[in-house]
Amino acid sequence: MPSETSLRPRSVQLRWMRMVDVEALRLEQWFALLDPSEQARAMRFRNRADQAAYVAAHALLRHMLSEALGGDPRAWAFETGPFGKPALAASHLRLRPHFNISHTRRLVACAIAGVPVGVDVEAGDGEPSSAIAERFAPGERAMLGRAAGDGYRAMFFRLWTLKEAYFKATGEGLSGRLDRPAFQIASRKALFERPEDAGPWQIFEFAPGEAHRLALVVQRRGNTPVSVVAAATDPAGLC
């Protein structure tokens, strides 16, 4: 039976899955769930780890949709918005939830909700891009300027995941400027630097692993905060 919790406007289901020692047989099973266009895109990845993360993220999405709405994970069809954000195809006549996925090496994530949502995961042990950092807002660049070494790296990827998640939630994608909206890291909490930029958007952050950051941005309805049900998914259970 469908799970009503996944479709409530004030609740988000968030799952992440670590891609550590995933067996080849399991990847083959996940690959078989994807439609031909997804399979073709997966085969274009030259790096095996990137390919595995793509396949796992799309398999996780299909399983979460079936948990929420019922049906075969292989049956879901998708369409793409003007800026590339995926949505369930109009051929699905039942209630169509909002969702978003993200994947990086060794980690994938999926969020499903009754309201627009964006999620981004990044490997925080990578190398920050100075070209991207230069496009951040002045206040964000100032925060980076006060950091050094591992602190700089952690701050960069924290800001980057927030921006990615925000633009995925709005459906804009990274097609525009990166200095608006700007974020402020106050103590351990991330906030919009300008309250007027926050609008209906609510921010959540997670550390699903020592080397990864996850940001979630959700559109709330009215003044009632959104709640997030978050958990790690065991790859063994995704078959």
According to DSSP, residue 126 is labeled S
Asked if 68 and 13 touch (Cβ cutoff 8 Å), the reply is: yes
Query: What is the rounded distance in angstroms from the CA atom of residue 221 to the CA atom of residue 239?
Result: 35
The 10s digit of each residue's pLDDT in 127-177 is 999 999 999 999 999 999 999 989 999 999 999 999 999 999 998 877 668
pLDDT (0 to 100) of residue 176? 67
- Summary mean pLDDT of the chain: 90
Say whether pLDDT at 2 is over 60. Answer: no
pLDDT (0 to 100) of residue 7? 61
- Reported pTM: 0.92
Q: Is 102 helix (H, G, I), strand (E, B) or coil?
A: strand
The 10s digit of each residue's pLDDT in 183-215 is 999 778 899 999 888 999 999 999 998 889 999
Say whether pLDDT at 120 is over 90. Answer: yes
- One CATH from 3.90.470.20, 3.40.250.10, 3.40.640.10, 3.50.50.60 for 4-232: 3.90.470.20
> pLDDT class for 90, splitting at 50, 70, 90?
confident
Asked if 15 and 64 touch (Cβ cutoff 8 Å), the reply is: yes
The residue among 62 and 222 whose pLDDT is bigger is 62
> Any idea where the domains of the chain sit in the sequence?
4-232
Asked if 26 and 235 touch (Cβ cutoff 8 Å), the reply is: yes
The 10s digit of each residue's pLDDT in 35-47 is 999 999 999 999 9
> pLDDT class for 1, splitting at 50, 70, 90?
very low
